[in-house]
């Protein structure tokens, strides 16, 4: 997977501006993650500035974690504008399946414009496909590897986009090729917003690489950073800080040594 370190070099050389319309819980978290990996974040959701901002942005990340009617309208307008400007879009359907509003909002955004990557946990993606996935808060329940793998492929075909189903093993597919990433650490589950961080980082990589390679690269690097952070601490608070440190410190040699990426045969 030589393209993974190459993609990191592209991010750090180009410092893509990633426009985020994200939830109130993780604005600071995701902005710092993007800065650590080498990208430039902007958090902007006012409808009147969306077009100006998207003209200069390299990618758009939509995260539906904290919704109201004003944010939904801004998200829909942003996706429409980004589609017209041919700016790549990443969607994180936080909590889809927990409420009708979240599920319908995510599906409407998928219909509005050309979402290039959909990243969610098993329950969220299952809900979007009309399955009876039950979501507790914004956390995935009852993760199953085979189901996650099949779900990524089925959703990619259904929505005509790259889909990443993240969990103990991350699966991503464009409907034709499917990959598994075995990097990561259980401490990621002890800090709020780590899934949102992963989505934002995909936004940085999709600005410099095609969608499937961008998603593989972002999630492999994020997982390696989590593993290295866990080697230095066993507690959530310090793990959170170390995660930023290793997003900043990760390099080509570490990626080549630690990346656990497998192409899954159909």
Ordered strands of the 261-264 beta sheet: 40-43, 17-21, 59-63, 89-92, 117-121, 162-166, 170-173, 178-181, 261-264
193 in helix, strand or coil? coil
Q: Which residues of the chain have pLDDT under 50?
A: 131-138, 140
What does the pLDDT look like over 114-154, one tens digit per residue? 899 999 999 999 999 984 344 444 454 566 878 999 999 99
What does the pLDDT look like over 95-108, one tens digit per residue? 999 999 999 999 99
Instruction: Tell me what pLDDT residue 143 has.
Output: 67
Instruction: Tell me what pLDDT residue 239 has.
Output: 98
- 73-95 burial string, b = 16+ CB within 10 Å, else e? ebbbbbbbbbbeeebbbbbbbbb
Instruction: Tell me what pLDDT residue 112 has.
Output: 85
* Start-to-end CA span in the chain (Å): 19
- Domains along the chain with CATH numbers: 3-264 (3.40.1190.20)
What does the pLDDT look like over 62-80, one tens digit per residue? 999 999 999 999 999 999 9
Rounded to whole angstroms, how far apart are CA atoms 26 and 198? Answer: 12
Both structure tokens of 57: 């942005």
């Amino acid at each position: 997977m030589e393209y993974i370190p190459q993609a990191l070099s592209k991010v750090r050389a180009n410092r893509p501006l990633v426009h985020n319309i994200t939830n109130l819980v993780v604005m600071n978290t995701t902005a710092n993650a993007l800065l650590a990996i080498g990208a430039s974040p902007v958090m902007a959701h006012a409808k009147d500035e969306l077009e100006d901002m998207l003209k200069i942005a390299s990618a758009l990340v939509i995260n539906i974690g904290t919704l109201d009617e004003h944010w939904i309208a801004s998200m829909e307008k942003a996706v429409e504008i980004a589609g017209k400007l041919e700016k790549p879009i990443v969607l994180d359907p936080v909590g889809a399946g927990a409420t009708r509003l979240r599920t319908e909002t995510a599906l409407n955004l998928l219909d509005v414009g050309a979402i290039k990557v959909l990243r969610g946990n098993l329950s969220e993606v299952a809900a979007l496909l009309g399955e009876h996935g039950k979501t507790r808060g914004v956390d995935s329940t009852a993760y199953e590897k085979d189901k996650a793998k099949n779900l990524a492929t089925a959703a990619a075909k259904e929505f005509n986009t790259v889909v990443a189903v993240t969990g103990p093993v991350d699966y991503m597919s464009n409907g034709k090729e499917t990959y598994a990433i075995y990097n990561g650490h259980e401490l990621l589950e002890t800090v709020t917003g780590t899934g949102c961080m992963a989505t934002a980082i995909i936004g940085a990589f999709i600005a410099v690489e095609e969608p499937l390679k961008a998603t593989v690269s972002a999630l492999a690097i994020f997982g390696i950073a989590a593993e290295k952070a866990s080697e230095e601490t066993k507690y959530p608070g310090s793990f959170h800080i170390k995660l930023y440190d290793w997003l900043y410190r990760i390099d080509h040699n570490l990626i080549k040594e630690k990346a656990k990426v497998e192409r899954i045969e159909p």
